[in-house]
Homo-oligomer: A and B are copies of this chain.
Amino acid sequence: MPPKADLILTNAILLTMNDRMEIFSPGALAIRGDSILAAGPEAEVRAACQAGQAVDCGGKVLMPGLIDAHTHVPMTLLRGLADDLRLDVWLMGYMMPVEREFVSPDFVRLGTQLACAELIRSGVTAFADMYYFEEDVARATAEAGMRAVCSQTVLKFPAPDAASFEDSLAAARAFIEKWKGHPLIVPSVAPHAPYTCTPEILKATAQLAMEFDIPLHTHLSETALEVENMRTETGMPVIPYIKKQGLLEAKLLAAHCVHVDVGEMHTLQHYRAGVAHNPSSNLKLSSGFAPVAKMLEMGLNVGIGTDGPASNNDLDMFEEARLASLVAKATTGDPTVVPAGQALAMATRLGARALHIGDLAGSLEPGKRADLILVDLRTLHNSPHFRRDPANIYAQIVYAGKASDVTDVMVNGKWLMTKRELLTLDESALAVAAQDYARRIDTFLMAREQSVLSKLIALGGSSEQESFEVQVKVRIQDPQPALDGLSSPQIEIIRQRHYSQHDTYFLFDDPAQGRLRYREDEFLDDEGRIASVRSRLTLVGQAREGAFEHEVLLSRSRFLAPALQTLRFYREYFRPKAERELQKDRRRWLVRFRETEFFVNLDRVEHPDLGHYLEIKSATWSRMDAERKACQAIELLAVLGCSQDNTVLQDYIDL
The residue from B84, B114, B333, B442 contacting A388, defined by CB atoms under 8 A apart: B442
Known: A384-B437, A435-B385. A319 touches B316 (CB 8 A): no
Give which listed residue, B79, B326, B404, contacts A384 with CB less than 8 A: B79
Whether A348 is near chain B, meaning CB under 8 Å from some CB there, is: no
| A383 close to B446 (CB less than 8 A) | no
* Docked pose: A388 CA to B83 CA in angstroms: 12
- A interface: dominant SS: helix
**Distance in angstroms between the alpha carbons of A12 and B81 in the assembled complex:** 21
In the complex, whether A48 has a CB less than 8 A from a CB of chain B is: no
Q: Flag whether A285 is at the interface (Cβ < 8 A).
A: yes
Proximity string of chain A (71-88) to chain B, C-beta cutoff 8 Å, 1 when within and 0 when not: 000001101111111110
A84 contact from B333, B336, B384, Cβ within 8 A: B336
Asked if B79 contacts A400 (CB within 8 A), the reply is yes
Question: Contact flags (1/0) for A339-350 with B, using CB distance below 8 Å?
Answer: 110000000000
With a 10 A CB-CB cut-off, give which of A312, A333, A438 has the most chain B CB atoms.
A438
By Cβ-Cβ distance, the 8 closest A-B pairs, closest first, are A384-B438, A84-B339, A283-B326, A384-B434, A83-B395, A313-B399, A283-B330, A313-B400
29 A-B pairs, CB-CB below 8 angstroms? A77-B384, A79-B383, A79-B400, A80-B382, A80-B392, A80-B399, A82-B389, A83-B339, A83-B391, A83-B399, A84-B391, A85-B335, A121-B380, A121-B381, A280-B326, A282-B330, A284-B399, A285-B329, A286-B330, A286-B335, A289-B330, A309-B400, A312-B400, A313-B396, A319-B319, A383-B431, A386-B441, A402-B404, A404-B404
CA distance A330 to B312 in the complex (A): 13
A105-126 contact mask (Cβ, 8 Å, vs B): 1 or 0:
0000000001001100110000
Give the chain B neighbours of A503 by CB distance below 8 A.
Answer: none
Given A286-B330, A388-B442, list of 19 further CB < 8 A pairs?
A: A77-B384, A80-B386, A83-B399, A85-B336, A86-B336, A87-B335, A117-B380, A118-B381, A284-B326, A309-B400, A312-B400, A313-B400, A314-B381, A314-B399, A380-B430, A381-B403, A386-B438, A386-B442, A402-B403
Task: List chain B residues, Cβ under 8 A from A335.
Answer: 84-87, 90, 284-286
Instruction: Name A379's closest neighbour in chain B (CB-CB).
Output: B431
Option from B80, B283, B430, B431 in Cβ contact (under 8 Å) with A327: B283
Q: At the interface, yes or no: A427 with Cβ under 8 Å from chain B?
A: yes
Shortest CB–CB separation between residue A393 and chain B, in angstroms?
Answer: 9
**At the interface, yes or no: A495 with Cβ under 8 Å from chain B?**
no
Give Cα distance in the complex from A80 to B80, angstroms.
33
Q: Given the interface contacts A381-B316, A404-B404, A431-B383, does A83 sit within 8 Å of B340 by beta carbon?
A: yes
| Separation of A382 and B330 alpha carbons in the complex (Å) | 29
Min CB distance, A385 to chain B, in Å? 6
Q: For the complex, is A623 an interface residue (Cβ under 8 Å from B)?
A: no
A101 interfacial contact with B, CB 8 Å: no
Contacts of A446 in B (CB 8 A): 388
A165 to chain B, nearest CB (A): 30
Give the B-binding residues of A (Cβ under 8 A): 76-77, 79-87, 90, 114, 117-118, 121-122, 280, 282-286, 288-289, 309, 312-316, 319, 325-327, 329-330, 332-336, 339-340, 378, 380-389, 391-392, 395-396, 399-400, 402-404, 427, 430-431, 434-435, 437-438, 441-442, 445-446, 449, 572
Nearest CB to that of A378 among chain B residues? B431
Q: Which residues of B contact A90 (CB under 8 A)?
A: 335
**Inter-chain contacts of A339 with B (CB < 8 A):** 83-84
- A144 to chain B minimum Cβ distance, whole angstroms, is 13
Min Cβ gap A262→B in Å is: 21
Contact partners of A284 in chain B: CB under 8 A: 325-326, 329-330, 335, 399
What is the minimal beta-carbon distance from A306 to any residue of chain B, in angstroms?
A: 11
Nearest-CB distance from A612 to chain B (Å)?
40
Q: Which residues of B sit under 8 angstroms from A389, Cβ to Cβ?
A: 82
- Complex CA–CA separation, A445 to B325 (angstroms): 25
Contacts of A81 in B (CB 8 A): 386, 388, 392
Given A383-B431, A427-B380, A434-B384, check contact A312 B399 (CB 8 Å). Answer: yes
Which residues does chain B contribute within 8 Å of A402, judged by CB atoms? 316, 402-404
Chain B residues within 8 Å of A313, by CB: 395-396, 399-400
A80 partner residues in chain B, CB cutoff 8 A: 382, 385-386, 392, 395-396, 399-400
Residues on B with C-beta less than 8 A from A83 are 339-340, 391-392, 395, 399
